[in-house]
């Protein structure tokens, strides 16, 4: 089996594992625990926010940032099949109470254990219009919400060594699919902003769908000390980790967010990242917001590095 076929096959496993882990209530991933006992628990791992910091938010299913007045973005993930979209109102009420924007990552797959579709089949079904109804349903439901909305569709399309079925399309195919889905969503949710969100890899520019389809560019930045040391020969700082992707997207002239952020390592490594992720870095003038991924990694990292623990609070519910 070729490497690509192996990766695509693993994407099916990833989708099913995601479903097994999260689909019991068929609710979007990330609706925070409104009764969290750790919302105000001190932690040296929490990003340091000061009056001069850039924007900050979190994917926060445990509610660890529930009482954090610095958090202005609530991040959710949902597939466009087998999910209870009406439950978005729970996240909306939570975000509205705290004055937060909802960042909704729409992943074009299903949590159903019966879901079997190849990467080419998914692409064809989108381009043929067969999936228009799925995006229309998501955006119609989101249009009922009162919080500001950002839609992030099919992220990390430039990273083929991952679990995402859509990360195996040619750039021109991805662009067609992304444009179609944004057009569909705008018909039902004209007030939303739209985030195009590559991983940050070399060649990502070929996947850019055009200025009229992008309001914000998102990147993913994770610092894992063991991985840095093994693969890069030294622990990397936040700036070193962000710089390659930032340099590749800055020419688009759009606000840049780190849509997924996490870090883990020894105390010194964590302290360095925590103190720097939300700083106003002059070398990154377009960087406006960072959004922390406050949970354990869902999918194992390659080469036996396991599932890093990004969560800022050590608790039995980890």
Q: What is the pLDDT of residues 198-255, one digit of tens each?
A: 999 999 999 999 999 999 999 999 999 999 999 999 999 999 999 999 999 999 999 9
Long-range contacts from 114-118, C-beta under 8 angstroms, 24+ separation: 115/15, 115/16, 115/19, 115/81, 115/82, 116/12, 117/165, 118/8, 118/165
CB atoms within 10 A of CB 317: 13
310 contacts 296 by C-beta, under 8 angstroms: yes
Check residue 20 and give its pLDDT.
Answer: 35
Q: What is the pLDDT of residue 246?
A: 98
**pLDDT tens digits, one per residue of 114-168:** 777 899 999 999 999 999 999 999 999 999 999 999 999 999 999 988 779 999 9
Tokens of 92: 């909306």
Give the pLDDT of residue 307. 94
**Residue of 63, 57, 78 whose CA lies nearest to 33:** 63
C-alpha pair distances (Å), 143 with each of 118, 128, 146, 147:
31, 25, 8, 10
> 110 burial class (0-12, 13-18, 19+ CB within 10 angstroms)?
buried
Q: What is the pLDDT of residue 315?
A: 65
User: What confidence score (pLDDT) does residue 44 get?
Assistant: 95
For the cut 70, the answer to whether the pLDDT of residue 318 exceeds it is no
Tell me the whole-structure pTM to 2 decimals.
0.91
> What confidence tier does 53 reach under pLDDT thresholds 50, 70, 90?
very high
């Amino acid at each position: 089996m070729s490497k690509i076929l192996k990766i695509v096959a693993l994407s099916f496993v990833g989708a099913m594992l995601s479903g097994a882990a999260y689909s019991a209530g068929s609710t979007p991933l990330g609706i925070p625990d409104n009764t969290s006992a750790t919302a105000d628990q001190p932690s040296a791992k929490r990003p340091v926010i000061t009056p001069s910091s850039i924007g900050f938010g979190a994917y926060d299913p445990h509610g660890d940032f529930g009482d954090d007045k610095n958090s202005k973005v609530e991040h959710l993930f949902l597939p466009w099949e087998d999910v209870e979209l009406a439950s978005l109102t729970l996240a909306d009420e939570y975000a509205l109470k705290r004055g937060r924007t909802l960042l909704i990552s729409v992943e074009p797959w299903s949590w159903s254990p019966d879901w079997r579709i190849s990467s080419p089949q998914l692409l064809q079904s989108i381009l043929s219009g067969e999936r228009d109804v799925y995006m229309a349903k998501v955006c119609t439901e989101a249009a009922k919400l009162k919080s500001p909305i950002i839609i992030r569709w099919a992220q990390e399309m430039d990273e083929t060594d991952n679990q995402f079925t859509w990360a195996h399309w040619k750039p021109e195919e991805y662009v067609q699919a992304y444009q179609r889905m944004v057009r569909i969503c705008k018909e039902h949710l004209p007030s939303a902003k739209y985030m195009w969100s590559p991983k940050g890899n070399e060649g990502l520019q070929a996947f850019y769908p055009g200025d009229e389809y992008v309001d914000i560019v998102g990147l993913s930045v994770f610092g894992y000390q063991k991985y840095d040391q093994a693969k890069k020969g030294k622990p990397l700082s936040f700036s070193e980790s962000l710089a390659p992707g930032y340099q590749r997207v800055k020419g688009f002239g759009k606000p840049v967010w780190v849509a997924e952020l996490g870090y883990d390592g020894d105390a010194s490594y964590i302290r360095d990242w925590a103190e720097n992720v939300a700083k106003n870095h002059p070398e990154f003038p377009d960087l406006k917001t960072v959004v922390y991924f406050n949970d354990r990694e869902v999918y194992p990292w390659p080469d036996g590095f396991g599932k890093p623990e990004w969560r800022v609070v050590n608790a039995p519910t980890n």
